[in-house]
Amino acid sequence: MPDGGKAGKNQLRKTALARRDALPISQRIEKSLAMADAAGRISFDPGTVISGFLPIRSEPDLRPLMAALRDRGARLCLPVVLDRETIVFRDFVRGEGLVDTGFGTVGPGEGAEVLDPDIMLMPLAGFDAAGNRLGYGAGHYDRAIARLRVRSKSVRLIGTAFETQFVEAIPAEDHDVPLDELITETGLRSFSTRV
């Protein structure tokens, strides 16, 4: 296994993303639709704020999953990159226009309300059996989670990935926050008793 430093994580990230990128688009669509079937297994109360994301590159398409969560009473929001260090989560209202929000993403514009998610559906480069996550390396989600926790906001972290992104072991650093749960095309799984 590569070392636990930045170079080691970069190699793990590159390998996991190459496997995801290699999935034909038809398989990514099928797997994304299978992920939506897990929506019924995510427990939450109506009005719970859930952050999702719209797909870029070869990410899972969470739109069917988010629609199912909205139908069950979730209030949805999407991440918006404010600068190289900061993302916020803006209210994702059905029918409202979307704008370029940085890093190739689109989301609600400046007029949308900023929300603090109770549950985050998180994009991943990779995951391991212990619930360690490998992000894209910019640290946006780590900093967003830290900001929420400073304000005593508890947030449930649900990673979203395809099974092909599994990594045998991801070296965890002090700032890394493990996942509570994971959704792949095989369903929803929990990593701990925190949920």
Is 195 part of a structural domain of the chain? no
Provide the number of structural domains found in the chain: 1
| 132 labelled ligand-binding | no
What's the pLDDT tens digit per position in 109-150? 999 999 999 999 999 999 999 999 998 877 788 889 888 888
CATH number at residue 181: 3.40.50.10420
Please indicate if the annotation marks 141 as binding a ligand.
yes
Q: Residue 13 pLDDT more than 90?
A: yes
134 in a known ligand binding site: yes
Whole-number pLDDT of residue 129: 95
Calculate mean pLDDT across residues 19-34.
97
Domain of 182?
Answer: 6-190
Contact at 8 Å (CB) between 119 and 156?
Answer: yes
Q: Is 133 annotated as a binding residue?
A: yes
Residue 137 in marked binding region: yes
The answer to whether position 82 is within a domain reads: yes
Q: Which residue has the higher pLDDT, 177 or 16?
A: 16
Instruction: Please tell me whether 72 is known to bind a ligand.
Output: no
- The answer to whether the annotation marks 138 as part of a ligand binding site is yes
Q: Is residue 1 part of a domain?
A: no
Residue 14 known to bind ligand:
no
For residues 9 and 192, the model is more confident at 9
Task: Dump pLDDT digits (tens) for 169-193.
Answer: 998 877 778 999 999 999 999 997 5
- Let me know if residue 23 belongs to a domain: yes
